[in-house]
Amino acid sequence: MSEAGLQAARQKMIDAGVSTPAIEVFTRFYHLLESGETGVIREDTIEPLLDPPMLADVDITDAEAREAIGKTVIIKLNGGLGTSMGLDKAKTLLPVRDGMNFLDLIVQQVLAARERYDARLPLLLMNSFRTDEDTLAHLARYPELPVEDLPLSFVQNQEPKLRADDLTPVEWPADPSLEWCPPGHGDLYPALEGSGVLDALLEAGFRYACVSNGDNLGAAPNATIAGWFARSGAPYAAELCRRTVNDKKGGHLAIRKADGQLILRDTAQTAPEEMDYFTDEHRHPFFHTNNLWFDLQNLRDTLVERNSVLGLPLIRNEKTVDPTDSSSTPVIQVESAMGAAIEVFEGATAICVGRDRFLPVKTTNELLLLRSDVYNLTDEGKLVACTDTSPEISLDSRYYKTVQKFAERIPQAPSLRKATSFRVEGDYTFGTGVVVKGDVTLPDAGEASTVEDGTRLEG
Ligand code: UPG
């Protein structure tokens, strides 16, 4: 039955024009799924990673840094739609500061680094079929951005969602587009290869890639890390940050007991009853930022040697075919994380960087912080924190979860520089010039209320 399922899925991908590397990667995952593999990494099979090298200890000459950044390409993951914030287009099109969105700030960072280091430094976006058009339309306002003949984007693959009961490709005539899903950001490697971009970069003389999430404005081009990576000779490196009590989401690296291999464990690979270990910042003190470096030549050699299949661990994602309808057909989406490549490159390493390299926007809580005076925007497009610790923000998800509701109620961010925590419970609309100091909670008044212009909230 499932052999027929695999053939049907492969045929569906061939008919849709999906590239051969992506079909081969999918096929391997399909076999793993069939064999009962869940992808879960148990706590008793790993040791915590406790002593990664520190960026602060790195001593690189200016010449080394310049040489390495001169051979680097910046890649941003931009396939996601920001659905958790109610968006139906690329999250990077969302305005962040002074009328500029994530893309504008990313471009500003890249152009500034080009000038500072006299580097070619191409910017490449990994888009999905949903984000490519809008993103490229926006980038058209930067005619100076393209480098030589390199494209500004490549589009990631799509794969069939599989029926949970018999692993055949699901059929959903009501909306056939829902029969497909993106294979997660582990698709970066087959997408780079299948699109021809990997070869184009090597031909143009580039050697290193720095990849990061499009919604992480902290991951600006960094010549010191490029220099460290080049000097290390490692095929691959992950940037980590020291964890705080608020860092509950995202993955962490660990050492596999069986063979001493450094591996990534993401949330989706953790059993629900072991989430307490996963989120314990004392047990696993560093988290994985998803800022990665790899050697393009080594990647290409490895892909050729392994017939396009890197062999990343499987992430088995159980959903329903229509994510908005929990009674629709249950499906399995086979996915992988790009950071899991740490276990497939021999000699892969990691480095602990400053918190300034990790400024993700997953929720409107984080968007509020970036829009506030906690951060200064430099003319190189970087957001620099002007406080030692950021206030903890918690906006009532009933009224602020989607960007639309959030923007209606908080058109201008209050001053949060002197705040330690800011909780909003209930439906408040904020005027201009509001200042928050100390620990402030606005309790649910049971009705829509207004915080008048210039109000000082002190706790
Ligand atoms: N994305 C794609 N294509 C996909 C899936 C995601 O481009 O098929 C993009 C998405 O737009 C976003 C980025 O990938 O910019 C990251 O995705 P997201 O879902 O926000 O993060 P997670 O996959 O949950 O976690 C990643 C790493 C994890 C790390 C965390 C840091 O897997 O190890 O701790 O990022 O934010």
pLDDT tens readout for residues 273-296? 999 999 999 999 999 999 999 999
CA distances from 2 to 28, 36, 204, 279, 331 (A): 13, 12, 43, 36, 14
**Active site residues per annotation:** 362
**Closest CA to ligand 1's atom 21:** 250
Q: Cα of 281 to ligand 1 centre, how many Å?
A: 20
User: Residue 435 pairs with which residues in a beta bridge?
Assistant: 415, 456
Question: In a mutational test of the pocket of ligand 1, which residue from 127, 154, 159, 213 has the highest number of ligand atoms less than 8 Å from its CB?
Answer: 213
At residue 169, the pLDDT reads 98
At residue 223, the pLDDT reads 98
Rounded to an integer, what distance in angstroms lies between the CA atom of residue 367 and that of residue 94? 10
% residues pLDDT > 90 (the chain): 93
CATH number of 2-357: 3.90.550.10
Burial, 176: exposed, middle or buried (Cβ in 10 Å; 0-12, 13-18, 19+)? exposed
Rounded to an integer, what distance in angstroms lies between the CA atom of residue 78 and that of residue 135? 9
Q: What is the DSSP letter of 225?
A: H
Residue-wise pLDDT for 176-231, tens only, equals 999 999 999 999 999 999 999 999 999 999 999 999 999 999 999 999 999 999 99
Point out the ligand 1 atom lying closest to the alpha carbon of residue 126: 7
Q: List CB contacts of 76: < 8 A, sequence separation 6 or more.
A: 92, 106, 123, 124, 125, 126, 211, 212, 213, 214
Q: Give which of 183, 182, 163 is closest to 172, Cα–Cα.
A: 163
ipTM: 0.98
Instruction: Give the DSSP H/E element, type plus range, for residue 123.
Output: strand 123-127
**Radius of gyration for the alpha carbons in the chain, expressed in angstroms and rounded:** 22
Q: Cα of 288 to ligand 1 centre, how many Å?
A: 11
**Closest CA to ligand 1's atom 11:** 80
Question: In a mutational test of the pocket of ligand 1, which residue from 135, 265, 290, 343 has the highest number of ligand atoms less than 8 Å from its CB?
Answer: 290
Q: Is 267 helix (H, G, I), strand (E, B) or coil?
A: helix
**Mean pLDDT value across residues 302-319:** 95
At residue 156, the pLDDT reads 96
**Mean pLDDT value across residues 340-365:** 95
At residue 245, the pLDDT reads 74
Q: Cα of 450 to ligand 1 centre, how many Å?
A: 36
Residue range(s) in the chain whose domain bears CATH number 3.90.550.10: 2-357
Whether 154 contacts 176, CB under 8 Å: no
At residue 1, the pLDDT reads 52
Amino acid at residue number 141: R
At residue 83, the pLDDT reads 84
Residue-wise pLDDT for 143-182, tens only, equals 999 999 999 999 999 999 999 999 999 999 999 999 999 9
Is the pLDDT confidence value at 456 over 70?
A: yes
The Cα angle at residue 327 between residues 38 and 157, in degrees rounded to 5: 50
Q: Give which of 217, 221, 195 is closest to 208, Cα–Cα.
A: 221
Task: Name every protein residue with a CB atom under 6 angstroms from any ligand 1 atom.
Answer: 77-80, 126, 128, 156, 182, 184-185, 187, 213-215, 250-251, 264, 266, 287-290, 337, 339, 360
Is the pLDDT confidence value at 427 over 80?
A: yes
Task: Name the CATH code of domain 364-458 (choices 2.160.10.10, 2.40.160.60, 3.40.640.10, 3.30.450.20).
Answer: 2.160.10.10
**pLDDT band for position 129 (cuts 50, 70, 90):** confident
% residues pLDDT > 70 (the chain): 100
Rounded to an integer, what distance in angstroms lies between the CA atom of residue 329 and that of residue 349? 41
Amino acid at residue number 220: A
Is the pLDDT confidence value at 248 over 90?
A: no
Instruction: Give the DSSP H/E element, type plus range, for residue 201.
Output: helix 197-203
Q: Cα of 339 to ligand 1 centre, how many Å?
A: 9
Q: Cα of 215 to ligand 1 centre, how many Å?
A: 9
Is the pLDDT confidence value at 2 over 80?
A: no
**pLDDT band for position 34 (cuts 50, 70, 90):** very high
Q: Give which of 157, 108, 109 is closest to 132, Cα–Cα.
A: 157
Residue range(s) in the chain whose domain bears CATH number 2.160.10.10: 364-458
In 10 A of CB 444, how many CB atoms? 15
